[in-house]
C-alpha cells in the first residue's frame, strides 16, 4: 500500500480507489487539454506545434493514470498501466524535439542536428527498455533527461539570449515540476486524504498552466509561420 493512501470510496455501488489522487490527476489532464485546444492556430511555429503535443500527451497520460493506475487498478491488470506510461514518454519526446526548434538560433545548427540524432536514439532505447522491464522508473529517467537535462537547459540558454517569455514560462514550469518530484520522493503528505501524490499532481497542474501561458506569449510574438 502507498503511504498515506487515500481510503477507497463507493459510488453507485462501484468501488473507487484513491479518489483524491484520481481527482488531482484529472486536474493535470484538464490543464493539459486546455493548453492543447486553446493554442490551436494555423500561425503556430513548428516549436509551438510540437509543444502543444507535449501538453496533449501529458494530459492523456494523467487521464489514463487516474482511471487505470488508481481508481480501477483492482479491475485491470498491471500491464494496462503501460498505456499511460507510453503517453507520458511520447509527451516528453515531443517536448525534446520542440525545444530544438525553439532554440535553434541560440544553440546553432550543428548542436541542433547532434541533439536531434540524440533524441531519436534515446527515444528508441527508452521504448525498448520500457517494453522489456515494464517499470515506471524508465519513464522517470526519460522525463529527467528530456525535461531537465534538455528542455530546461536549452531554454535557459535561449532565454539568456532572447528574453523569450515562452522560455521563461518553461523554465519556471519545469522548476515547479521538480518541486512536484521532490514532494513525491519525500512523501510530503498532509493526510490520507491529501497525500504526496495529490500534492505532486497539484504542482504539476500549476506547472503546465505556467508553461501554457508562456506558449501563448510565443504565439503573439510569432504570428506568421512559413
pTM: 0.92
pLDDT of residue 39: 93
- Residue pair 85/77 in contact by the 8 Å Cβ criterion: no
pLDDT of residue 225: 36
* % of the chain beyond a pLDDT of 70: 95
Interval 163-180: pLDDT, tens: 999 999 999 999 999 999
Taken in order of first residue, the domains within the chain and their CATH numbers are: 11-221 (1.20.1070)
Query: 117: Cβ–Cβ under 8 A, 6 or more apart, which residues?
Result: none
Interval 106-116: pLDDT, tens: 999 999 999 99
Interval 210-221: pLDDT, tens: 999 999 887 665
The total number of residues written for the chain in this structure: 226
Given a cut of 90, is residue 35 above it in pLDDT? yes
Q: Which residue in the block uniquely carries the three cell numbers 527515444?
A: 123
Interval 83-125: pLDDT, tens: 999 999 999 999 999 999 999 999 999 999 999 999 999 999 9
What is the average pLDDT score of the chain?
93
Interval 6-29: pLDDT, tens: 999 998 889 999 999 999 999 999
* % of the chain beyond a pLDDT of 90: 83
Interval 63-75: pLDDT, tens: 999 999 999 998 9
Rounded Cα–Cα distance for residues 209 and 214 (Å):
9
First to last CA, the chain: 53
- Residue pair 210/172 in contact by the 8 Å Cβ criterion: yes
Amino acid at each position: 500500500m502507498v503511504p498515506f493512501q487515500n481510503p477507497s470510496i463507493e459510488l453507485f455501488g462501484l468501488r473507487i480507489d484513491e479518489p483524491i489522487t484520481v481527482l488531482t490527476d484529472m486536474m493535470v489532464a484538464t490543464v493539459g487539454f486546455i493548453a492543447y485546444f486553446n493554442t490551436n492556430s494555423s500561425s503556430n511555429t513548428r516549436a509551438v506545434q510540437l509543444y502543444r503535443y507535449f501538453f496533449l500527451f501529458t494530459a492523456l497520460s494523467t487521464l489514463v493514470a487516474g482511471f487505470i493506475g488508481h481508481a480501477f487498478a483492482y479491475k485491470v491488470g498491471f500491464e494496462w498501466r503501460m498505456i499511460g506510461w507510453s503517453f507520458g514518454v511520447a509527451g516528453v519526446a515531443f517536448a525534446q524535439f520542440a525545444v530544438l526548434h525553439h532554440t535553434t538560433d541560440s544553440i546553432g545548427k550543428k548542436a541542433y542536428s547532434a541533439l536531434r540524432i540524440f533524441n531519436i536514439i534515446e527515444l528508441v532505447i527508452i521504448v525498448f527498455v520500457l517494453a522489456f522491464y515494464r517499470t515506471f522508473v524508465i519513464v522517470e529517467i526519460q522525463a529527467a533527461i528530456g525535461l531537465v537535462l534538455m528542455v530546461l537547459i536549452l531554454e535557459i540558454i535561449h532565454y539568456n539570449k532572447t528574453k523569450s517569455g515562452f522560455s521563461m514560462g518553461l523554465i519556471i514550469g519545469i522548476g515547479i515540476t521538480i518541486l512536484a518530484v521532490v514532494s513525491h520522493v519525500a512523501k510530503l503528505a498532509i493526510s490520507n486524504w491529501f497525500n504526496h501524490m495529490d500534492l505532486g499532481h497539484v504542482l504539476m497542474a500549476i506547472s503546465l498552466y505556467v508553461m501554457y501561458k508562456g506558449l501563448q506569449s510565443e504565439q503573439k510574438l510569432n504570428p506568421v509561420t512559413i
